[in-house]
């Protein structure tokens, strides 16, 4: 079987960003599947260009297999916070990925993923040209997420966005979702549940085995500190201002430090906010390759995940939460919904109402004063991901989806 994946933000372990698709396709390739990935050479996280289809950079993929091929497609550089510029980057990649995909031969199935919806459109067109099934992966309830967070406001654009969303759902032969919270939304759009496959977000647990954070602690002068770490995107929906407010409340606790690892459209704003508020208990670090994230998480005492207090965001399974659990760290979770249910049932962390900086500060203090609670919650989270959310377990689910898409085509 030859799988063609079109994914603008595809990243390997040697790059910052989500590595769900790298890990899944790498495992598929090891089982004899042919894999071709059409992606952008411009990192969506760092905006740095890396020509991954250049032989000199082939080691970026940690793969030396003729059956695994990565092809770069051009996208307009999306630098800054402009919504229109980002849309332009999405549309240019949609067009260039379409052109690059046409030359890929002997394709069995085309895999499109959101966000953004535009690259999924490219995948659908390619599937029609080649006469093969189209598998749509929904990782973002677009356009509803964009509307609910205030990114998309124009009435005309919202109307046509909803039409496009419905068209894509109905055009797919199979649909993958990465959170159980997305299934009711798709069903409300008239999609039969037997067309939807859950392949949840998870983590490559093997990356986090026996990882030590001492070198990171020494490098950034964190030794002897109680480290509260956020590792992930610094975007509008992440609501990281609320963590800064918690840091402001805890300025008097000289042993507690807040560490932000990552990049995004809000990072400069957040750094300026920290300076304006005189927060000397906050440290901002650049986005890190995924292979280094275990070291950074190992250097923390607790980890934190936040999203804006928007009901629709309660449907998500944020990847960073699974990374935190794989690192054996307790979680302060300011996200309601399905991920809250998962973390609370596992006794892997503390839930705080989204937007509640006082609740975040109080939870930090409760962990700081109880090392045994930290250990217990961290161990519980690790046991959960090892038993149910290891990426290797999800490869079986993806294979089943592709096989059913081909059989029913």
- DSSP SS3 for 110: strand
Residue 58, pLDDT score: 45
Distance of CA 169 to the CA centre of its chain: 21
Q: Which residues contact 32 (CB under 8 A, 6 or more apart)?
A: 67
Residue 53, pLDDT score: 55
Backbone angles phi, psi at 189, to 5 degrees: -90, 10
pTM over 0.85: yes
| Domain residue extents for the chain | 2-202+390-407, 205-388
- In this structure, CATH architecture of domain 205-388: 3-Layer(aba) Sandwich (3.40)
Per-position pLDDT tens, the chain of length 409: 999 999 999 999 999 889 999 999 999 999 999 999 999 987 767 666 666 555 544 444 455 566 899 999 998 886 655 778 888 889 999 999 999 999 999 999 999 999 989 999 999 999 999 999 999 999 999 899 888 888 888 899 899 999 999 999 999 999 999 999 999 999 999 999 999 999 999 999 999 987 899 999 999 999 999 999 999 999 989 999 999 999 999 999 999 999 999 998 899 999 999 999 999 999 999 999 999 999 999 999 999 999 999 999 999 999 999 999 999 999 999 999 999 999 999 999 999 999 999 999 999 999 999 999 999 999 999 999 999 999 999 999 999 999 999 999 9
The reply to whether domains 2-202+390-407 and 205-388 share a CATH topology is: yes
CA proximity to 117, closest of 195, 7, 11 = 7
Residue 265, pLDDT score: 86
Produce one character per residue of 71-101: b if its CB has 16 or more CB atoms within 10 Å, e if not: bbbbbbebeeeeeeebbebbbbbbebbbebb
Say if CB 181 and CB 312 are below 8 A apart: no
Q: Dig out the tokens for 332 from the structure.
A: 């302060």
- DSSP SS3 for 303: strand
Please tell me whether the peptide bond between 147 and the residue prior to it is cis, using omega within 30 degrees of 0. no
* Cα separation values, 243 from 151, 279, 283, 294, 349, Å: 21, 12, 12, 21, 16
Q: Which CATH number fits domain 2-202+390-407: 3.90.550.10, 3.30.750.24, 3.40.50.2000, 3.60.15.10?
A: 3.40.50.2000
């Amino acid at each position: 079987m030859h799988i063609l994946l079109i994914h603008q933000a595809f990243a390997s372990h040697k790059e910052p960003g989500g590595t769900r698709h790298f890990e899944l396709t790498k495992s598929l390739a090891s089982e004899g599947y042919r894999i071709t990935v059409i992606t952008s050479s411009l990192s969506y996280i760092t905006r740095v260009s890396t020509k991954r289809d250049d032989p000199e950079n082939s080691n970026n993929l940690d793969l030396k297999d003729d059956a695994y091929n990565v092809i770069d497609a051009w996208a307009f550089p999306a630098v800054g916070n402009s919504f229109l510029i980002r849309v332009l980057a999405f549309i240019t990649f949609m067009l260039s990925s379409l052109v690059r995909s046409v030359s890929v031969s002997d394709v069995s199935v085309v895999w499109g993923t959101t966000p953004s919806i535009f690259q999924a459109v490219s995948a659908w067109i390619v599937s029609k040209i080649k006469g093969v099934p189209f598998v749509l992966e929904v990782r973002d309830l677009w356009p509803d997420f964009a509307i609910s967070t205030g990114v998309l406001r124009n009435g005309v654009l919202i109307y046509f966005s909803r039409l496009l969303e419905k068209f894509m759902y109905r055009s797919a032969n199979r649909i993958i979702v990465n959170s159980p919270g997305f299934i009711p939304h798709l069903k409300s759009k008239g999609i039969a549940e037997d067309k939807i496959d859950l392949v949840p977000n998870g983590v490559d647990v093997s990356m986090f085995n026996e990882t030590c954070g001492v070198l990171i602690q020494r490098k950034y002068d964190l030794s002897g500190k109680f480290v509260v770490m956020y590792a992930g995107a610094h975007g509008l929906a992440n609501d990281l201002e609320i963590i800064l407010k918690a840091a402001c409340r805890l300025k008097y606790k000289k042993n507690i430090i807040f560490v932000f690892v990552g990049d995004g459209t809000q990072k400069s704003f957040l750094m300026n906010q920290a300076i304006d508020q005189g927060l000397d208990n906050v440290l901002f670090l650049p986005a890190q390759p995924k292979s280094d994230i275990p070291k950074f998480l190992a250097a923390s005492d607790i980890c934190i995940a936040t999203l804006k207090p928007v009901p629709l965001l309660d449907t998500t399974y944020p990847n960073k939460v699974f990374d935190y659990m794989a690192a054996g760290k307790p979680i302060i979770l300011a996200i309601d919904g399905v991920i809250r249910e998962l973390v609370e049932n596992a006794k892997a962390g503390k839930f705080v109402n989204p937007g509640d900086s006082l609740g975040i500060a109080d939870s930090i203090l409760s962990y700081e004063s109880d090392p045994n609670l930290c250990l217990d919650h961290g161990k519980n989270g690790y046991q959960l991901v090892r038993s149910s959310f290891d990426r290797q377990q999800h490869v079986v689910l993806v294979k089943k989806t592709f096989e059913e898409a081909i059989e029913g085509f």
